[in-house]
Structure 1
C-alpha cells in the first residue's frame, strides 16, 4: 500500500499526513480552502494548522477538487469534524466509494439520527464491515508533529487490510495496535471529548487535582455503563484506546475540548468560548448527539448531563458543578 487519500485540512489531518509521508506513502489531500492548497503545494506548510511543521510535499498532491482526490486512491481517510462529515459526503457520489477501503478519524455523532461515523458512512455509501476501519488515540496532533512517543489503535474487522495500513503509520515514535472493537472505541472517542469539556470547566472554576481525579474516576464509570447499553460487552476499559484517550483529553493542555471547557468555567458564554477557540471542539457537537442516544437508552450519566445543560440549556457552569458535586462519588 503506497497511496492514501486524506479528506480534511485541520491539525489532525495534517498530523496524519506527516506520518504517512514520512513512511513514503503518497498522499492525495483534499483541503477546502484554496489558500491551504496553494501553501501545501508551494511551501509544504498548512498555514492554518500546525504551521510550524514543514511537510514533504514531494509526496503530496493537494487539491480542492474532492471528486479528484477520492478517485486517486483505493484507501480514503476522513479526518473532518463530525459536524461537517455529512456535507462533505453529500458531494461524493455513492459509487465513488463502492470499491474503496474507508478509514475514519472522526470523533462525534453524525446527522439528526446521531449515527456513529462508521454507521453513517456504511449507510451513505453501502459499505460493508470489511471495508472500514477507524483510528483511535490517544493521539494529540501537536505531539505527533513534534515526534513525541504516541500509541495509535486501528480498529475494524478486516485485520488483513488493517495490518497493511498499520505499516503506513508505524514509526520510531508511533506504535500502532489493532482492535476489532470499532463500535466501542467510536463511542469511547465521542464520550472522551465530552469529559474533556467537563474537566476544562472544573479547571476554569478552580477545582483542584483531588476533584479532577474524582471526575475522571466517575467518567470511567459512566463509560462502563454506556458501552454495554449500546451492545459492547467485555471491554477492558484500562486499554489505551479507551482510558488512555479519555485521560489525555481530560488532562492535556493540547486538548481543544479541555480548553473550550476552561473558557466556560471562567464565565464565558458558549458563543464567546467558541469564538475564542478559533477551531472546532468536537465535544460541543458530540454532547448533543450522545445526550439524545443516552436519553433513549434510559441511562443516567451526570457528567454528560452537566455538559449538556451548560452547552445547550445555557446554564451557568458554577451552578451545574454544585449539582454535579452531589451526583458523583
Structure 2
C-alpha cells in the first residue's frame, strides 16, 4: 500500500457507489480515494459543490477534486483496491480498453449485485475469465444495505466475502463506520448468486403486489424464495458451509422484497400493473438488476436441473411476454 495508507478507487457513480463513497469518507482508516465518474458534467459538479447531482444529491462528499477522473484507467493505475460499482450490464463498457496487466496484484471488489448479461457470468467469474484476476484477490460486498438508508446513516450490516480472509478483513476495516457493521465470509459464490437471485424474487414480489396480492401472500412467496435460493446456491457450490438464514442471504432478500427503496420491487410492481418492460425501464431512473438476472439464471436452472418456479414465473412474464396474472396464478399452486 502507498505511503498515505490504502489507495482506493471507485468505479461507478450511481446511488450505491455514492453511498460507499460516504462510507469511505466517514471511515477513520488512513487512505486516499479516487473516483471514476462517467459524465464530465457530473464530475465538474462534484468537484465544485461536493455533491453527486444525479444520485443521493444530499450526501456531502469530501473527496479532493484532483482525485476525480473520467478516464477509468487513471483511477485503476492509482489504486491498490478497486471497487467496481456499476450496473452489471454496463461493466464491460466501463472497463473497455483495460487488460489483465492493469489489474495485476490489485484487490478487486465487486459491489455489483448482478450478472454480466452477454457472458452469463457473475462478476467474480467474469473478472477471473477476462482479466485473469485470481479468486484470492476478489472480494464481494453483500448484505441488506439500501443506498438511501446508508446515506441517512441508518445502522446497516455489510458482508465481505473472500477466499482470502485477510483481504476480506482489509475491506471490512476500510468500510466500517459508526453506522456500518461488517461481517466476514468465505462464501464468495453463495453471496454473489444470492444477491442476483434476491433481485429476481423482489421483482416477483412486486409483480404480485401490482396484481393486488397482499402481505399474507408475499410472506408465503418470500419463504418459498429463500428455499429456492438455497437449492440454487447449494447446487452451484455444494462444498461451502452456509446458513441461508444469515443476513447476507435472507436479510438481503427481505429488504429487497419489502422496502420502498427497492428498485426491483418497484419494477415488478409496474409490470404487475400492466406496464410493458420497455415502458417500465423508461420510467425508472435506475437499473433494476433483476431484469437481466432473470434471463441469465435460466441457464443455471437448465444446467443443474433445478426446480425454481418463482424464477421461471418472472422469466415467462418479462421475456416471453406471458400474462402476469396467468403466470402468478400458476405459481400459486406450487407454493407451500
TM-score by length of 2: 0.95
CA distance in 1, matches of 2:320, 2:72: 37
Q: Could you report, residue by residue, the CA deviation over 1:143-179 in whole angstroms, capped at 9, with x for unpaired residues? A: 0000000000000011112212211111111001100
Q: Is the 8 A contact 2:114 2:293 kept in 1?
A: yes
State the partner residue of 1:61: 67
Q: Count matched residues.
A: 329
Paired residue secondary structure (1:28): strand
In structure 2, the CA distance between the partners of 1:60 and 1:186, relative to structure 1 (3 Å rule), is farther
Q: Is the 8 A contact 1:155 1:181 kept in 2?
A: yes
Paired residue secondary structure (1:57): coil
State the partner residue of 1:20: 24
Q: 1:272 is matched with which residue: 256, 272, 279?
A: 279
Structure 1 residue runs of 5 or longer lacking an equivalent are: none
CA distance in 1, matches of 2:273, 2:11: 35
Query: Are 2:7 and 1:3 aligned?
Result: yes
Runs of 4+ in structure 1 off by over 4 angstroms are none
Q: Could you report, residue by residue, the CA deviation over 1:77-134 in whole angstroms, capped at 9, with x for unpaired residues? A: 1001111112222321221101211000111111434111101001111111221101
CA distance in 2, matches of 1:301, 1:161: 34
Query: Are 2:40 and 1:44 aligned?
Result: no
In structure 2, the CA distance between the partners of 1:90 and 1:111, relative to structure 1 (3 Å rule), is farther
CA distance in 2, matches of 1:60, 1:206: 51
Q: Is the 8 A contact 1:5 1:76 kept in 2?
A: yes
CA distance in 2, matches of 1:26, 1:10: 20
Cα RMSD, aligned residues only:
1.4
TM-score by length of 1: 0.97
Q: Is the 8 A contact 2:47 2:65 kept in 1?
A: no
Q: Is the 8 A contact 1:201 1:262 kept in 2?
A: yes
Q: Is the 8 A contact 1:114 1:293 kept in 2?
A: no
> How far has the Cα of 1:60 moved from its partner?
7.2
State the partner residue of 2:105: 99
State the partner residue of 1:244: 251
CA distance in 2, matches of 1:66, 1:173: 30
CA distance in 2, matches of 1:39, 1:95: 32
CA distance in 2, matches of 1:174, 1:60: 27
In structure 2, the CA distance between the partners of 1:106 and 1:3, relative to structure 1 (3 Å rule), is same
State the partner residue of 2:35: 29
CA distance in 2, matches of 1:262, 1:93: 40
Paired residue secondary structure (2:313): helix
Q: Is the 8 A contact 2:139 2:167 kept in 1?
A: no
Paired residue secondary structure (2:206): helix
Q: Is the 8 A contact 2:117 2:292 kept in 1?
A: no
Q: 2:132 is matched with which residue: 126, 143, 146?
A: 126
Structure 2 residue runs of 5 or longer lacking an equivalent are: none
CA distance in 2, matches of 1:162, 1:306: 36
